[in-house]
Amino acid sequence: MNNYNEELFKEKAELLKALAHPVRLCIVKGLLENGGCNVTHMQNCLNAPQSTISQHLQKLRSLGIIKGERNGLEIKYTVANPLVQGLVEALFKE
């Protein structure tokens, strides 16, 4: 059996907690399906205010789940963590 590494388990638990919120899970799933997108696209898909989406994006960015690349005034968000991609794919496997 592997040794218990408390920090590693805390890190993984934080990742799972972030994905446990329905809006954040929807954002990540949408980013994976679309190869990334901007806040306006997410706002239209989720029918949620830009401020709400921005709060969720900040949480996802702070944990390294997503990243944003600026192109002029637009920021395109993509999934930055390959582990998250595998988790979301497993969750929605039919």
pLDDT in tens, 56-81: 999 999 999 999 999 999 999 999 99
Domain count, the chain: 1
Per-residue pLDDT band for 2 (boundaries 50, 70, 90) equals low
What is the phi/psi pair of residue 69, to 5°? -120, 120
Residue 4 located in a structural domain: no
pTM over 0.85: yes
Mean pLDDT, the chain, rounded, equals 93
Residue with tokens 């600026």: 70
Q: Are 37 and 77 in contact (CB under 8 A)?
A: yes
Residue 48's domain comprises 10-91
- Give me the CATH number covering residue 39: 1.10.10.10
Can you tell me the mean pLDDT for 12-23? 95
What are the pLDDT digits (tens) for 29-61?
Answer: 999 999 999 999 998 889 999 999 999 999 999
- Report if residue 1 sits inside a domain: no
Domain assignment of residue 2, yes or no? no
pLDDT of res. 44: 87
Q: What are the DSSP E strand ranges found in 10-87? A: 66-71, 74-79
